[in-house]
Amino acid sequence: MSNMNALSADEMERFQKLSNTYEPDVQGPLVSRKEPTQSVALEYANADHALSAKTNALAITHPEYRIMKGDGNCGWRAVAFGYFETLFALRDPMRIQREITRFKSLEMLLKQVGHSEHLYEIFTEATEDLFTQTISAIQGGAGDESFLVDAFNNEFASSAVITHFRLLTSSWMRLNPHRYQAFLSLPLEQYCASQIDPLKTEIDEVGLQALVDGVIEGAGFGVEILYLDRSEGDAVTPHQLSPHSPSGATIRLLYRPGHYDLLYPADPNVNMEPIVNYQYAMTSDYSNWNEGPLGFDVDSSLMAIPNLMADPSFAMGTPMSPMPSVSPTPTSPFRMSPQQEMYQSPMQTHAPIPSIPVSSPPPPIPPPSAAPPPMTTLPSRSSDGPQIRLNPLVMKPNLSRSLPVTTPFKNSPYNQAHFQNSDFEPIHWEPHDRR
């Protein structure tokens, strides 16, 4: 302290100027990729209870955020980047064209306050170039906003766009002093010259409101600030700068004393309920009823009947090729009767049905009035009788794909009551019988 008192007035003034112009060496990109907001909660885990509770809640409601470099331009950069990012997210090239036209009309503000065109045209060109890149990215089917991150990490392009936004804001304030002068502690002209126009001067609440009023609100976007402070409550305090946002799109800023970042809310369309697969372990490996070629036309609905092709009366009297003998499978507890053995599916074992030559005449078709002749002989059930095809979804591992039928089907020639059975005997109904 004694050394400081020994300094002359000139030396004190020199140290004061050095202090005013000191710029900390801030590391990192100008605009980062999206980061999980949980890192902010970990940063404040051992801090004040209010900050810890608010950051934990923020990580749930806004799971992602984007870091702006704290070089004095973070607030301006956050709004400018959020503006172009929102335009890109809407995927509407015609809307961007309208924004290009609107920004050209805002040049009248610059001319009205006395700015020469040759002084600000380099900044307007940088903004127009970013509009063009956004349209090209949408039309090219770009999946994310990486091109915007690269553009804003370019020092020249980023500074040019931010300067353009600063000039438009200061011009708007100078042309509408009655809206802002009451909130300032110094004349508005001096405020704009010292706090708005120069680069690397951080934006405050008045300047941010003017930026929204003069530049952003015309696009139909809202701007919301979420204050991370020690105020009461377990959640960050939101403040809407644009109560009227026709499109519903909102740029959200996270404010910590002296610094702004971008926030991204959770997607309301994401379904957080677990997905249950009710078809787990079900198979779709189903074999065809008959994989052999057919020499005649068959109704597709008839092919769903098991063992239809093994019926000798099928195919309008066409003789079938003899079926090879089938070796029985080992004894199984699921045997239908002790006299019969398990069978493999005849659809998979017999030889393919030979096709009928084109040159041969079709077999004669009996007239509709004539009844088909009775069957003189029936195939032995021990070799190729009708069989029941088992469902592979419920079939035991040690069962074959089909089982022999012990009881004849009602409409089968094996049934004695069938008119084609050689031992045909009609069923006589008795009064005491119940249907």
pLDDT in tens, 228-252: 988 888 999 999 998 776 666 999 9
Examine the pLDDT at 147 and tell me if it is beyond 70: yes
Query: What is the pLDDT, as a whole number, of residue 422?
Result: 74
Examine the pLDDT at 50 and tell me if it is beyond 80: yes
Q: What is the mean pLDDT of the chain?
A: 76
> Which pLDDT tens digit goes with each residue over 250-278?
999 999 988 999 999 998 765 444 444 44
- The pair of three-digit structure tokens given for residue 361, joined into one six-digit string: 């005449």
Distance CA 307, CA 112 (A): 94
Distance CA 197, CA 106 (A): 17
Q: What is the model's pTM?
A: 0.59
Task: Indicate whether 301 belongs to any domain.
Answer: no
- The pair of three-digit structure tokens given for residue 310, joined into one six-digit string: 């093994």
> Which pLDDT tens digit goes with each residue over 101-121?
999 999 999 999 999 999 899
Distance CA 354, CA 315 (A): 13
Task: Indicate whether 338 belongs to any domain.
Answer: no
Task: Indicate whether 55 belongs to any domain.
Answer: yes
pLDDT band with cut points at 50, 70 and 90 for residue 344: very low
Query: What is the pLDDT, as a whole number, of residue 27?
Result: 75
- The pair of three-digit structure tokens given for residue 329, joined into one six-digit string: 């499978």
Task: Indicate whether 290 belongs to any domain.
Answer: no
β-strands 387-389, 402-404: how paired? Answer: antiparallel
Examine the pLDDT at 432 and tell me if it is beyond 80: no
Task: Indicate whether 120 belongs to any domain.
Answer: yes
Examine the pLDDT at 330 and tell me if it is beyond 90: no
- The pair of three-digit structure tokens given for residue 86, joined into one six-digit string: 């929102």
Residue 103's CATH number: 1.20.1300.20
pLDDT band with cut points at 50, 70 and 90 for residue 299: low
β-strands 259-264, 250-256: how paired? Answer: antiparallel
250 forms bridges with which residues in the sheet?
Answer: 222
Examine the pLDDT at 195 and tell me if it is beyond 50: yes
If one compares 206 and 305, the residue with the highest pLDDT of the two is: 206
Give the total number of structural domains in the chain.
1
Task: Indicate whether 275 belongs to any domain.
Answer: no
If one compares 331 and 256, the residue with the highest pLDDT of the two is: 256
Mean pLDDT of 51-70: 95
Task: Indicate whether 434 belongs to any domain.
Answer: no
What residues make up the domain containing 216?
A: 26-264
pLDDT band with cut points at 50, 70 and 90 for residue 387: low
Question: Which residues, at least 6 apart from 265, have a Cβ–Cβ distance to it below 8 Å?
Answer: 61, 62, 252
Sign of CA dihedral 5, 9, 10, 13: positive
Q: What percent of the chain has pLDDT over 70?
A: 59
Examine the pLDDT at 34 and tell me if it is beyond 50: yes
pLDDT band with cut points at 50, 70 and 90 for residue 6: low
Task: Indicate whether 286 belongs to any domain.
Answer: no
> What is the per-residue burial (b if ≥16 Cβ within 10 Å, else e) of 17-33?
eeeeeeeeeeeeebbbe
